[in-house]
Homo-oligomer: A and B are copies of this chain.
């Protein structure tokens, strides 16, 4: 690889001049500029980012920490982040945390060791020291804490919405699939659902699930209908679980939505391809990722952001695992 010295020599100038020209900082004569340009072309020179980073103590790298890219909710998020970063010429060091604190810590450490200028993280430990001690901007994504920079959606309202809609459509023996206890958004949804169900005096059962994995989802779906065969409405903790529940209901010969209604959460791309297509509470994953990146960049560039926490709207994506709302007829 050619270095700045090579370019300087080739152009018959000093490295200082080449640097000035590359970074457009300070004077450089038109003629010298030409010569340097030629030299750069001929030598295929591109600046060594590592050397730059060392001197300036900052890079064009950012860190992105997600629980598990294999969970279909996260690729959309990641894509939003990447698109925005790429547009602004930032690069991403990516890691999966598996919601594991030690792994997370390890990644944060190497992010710092590599001089990243900012971090986006979907962490369950936003209040831990490992984040507090960082002296670079951090944006929490699909998570939030106090007044710290974050992009998330209102899980509680989402849960309420799911319960409300399924109740309005006539389910009276609801089962709520409660997501992993240590995952904040999952709890928010659960609490919201419980709250709205309670307000309506609707009895409900709870199936506790401990992960969002595909393989486990089927197990819980089976457990659901074994333990609560009378269920006529399911509020799932996310679309994967909902898909598993739908699959199991159909396997048992139940009619969806006539016998059982199902509401998912997230609106992953495949939800609309299920048959019947899945009614769900939508989070705008791509936009959330994009917003997080955009916010981080503003932070990195020291722009003033008056509102560091961005709450994105959840919306009811009405499809075919729910019946038409009875309530609507009364309007």
Contact = CB atoms under 8 A, between A and B. Distances in A.
Given A86-B95, A112-B46, A275-B246, A70 B61 contact: no
A49 interface: yes
Contacts of A218: 273
Interface stretch (A75-83, A172-180, A189-197, A226-234): A75-83
A198 interface: no
Interface in A34-77: 46-51, 53-54, 59-61, 64, 68-70, 72, 74-76
A272 B244 CA distance: 9
B72 A69 contact: no
A109 interface: yes
A94 B75 contact: no
Contacts of A47: 113
Given A69-B75, A273-B243, A51 B54 contact: yes
A91 B114 contact: yes
A321 to B, nearest CB: 11
Interface in A246-291: 246-247, 250-251, 269-270, 272-275, 277, 286
A92 interface: yes
A268 to B, nearest CB: 8
Interface in A229-243: 240, 243
Interface in A107-134: 109-110, 112-115
A96 B80 CA distance: 11
A327 interface: no
A113 B93 CA distance: 14
Contact of A247 (B50, B54, B68, B275): B275
Interface residues of A, number: 56
A262 to B, nearest CB: 12
Nearest to A82: B96
Nearest to A241: B273
A250 B214 CA distance: 24
A102 to B, nearest CB: 12
A70 B269 contact: yes
A1 interface: yes
A92 B95 CA distance: 8
A91 B190 CA distance: 36
Contacts of A64: 94
A70 B270 CA distance: 11
A96 B243 CA distance: 28
Interface of A: 1, 46-51, 53-54, 59-61, 64, 68-70, 72, 74-76, 78-79, 82-83, 86, 91-96, 103, 109-110, 112-115, 214, 217-218, 240, 243-244, 246-247, 250-251, 269-270, 272-275, 277, 286
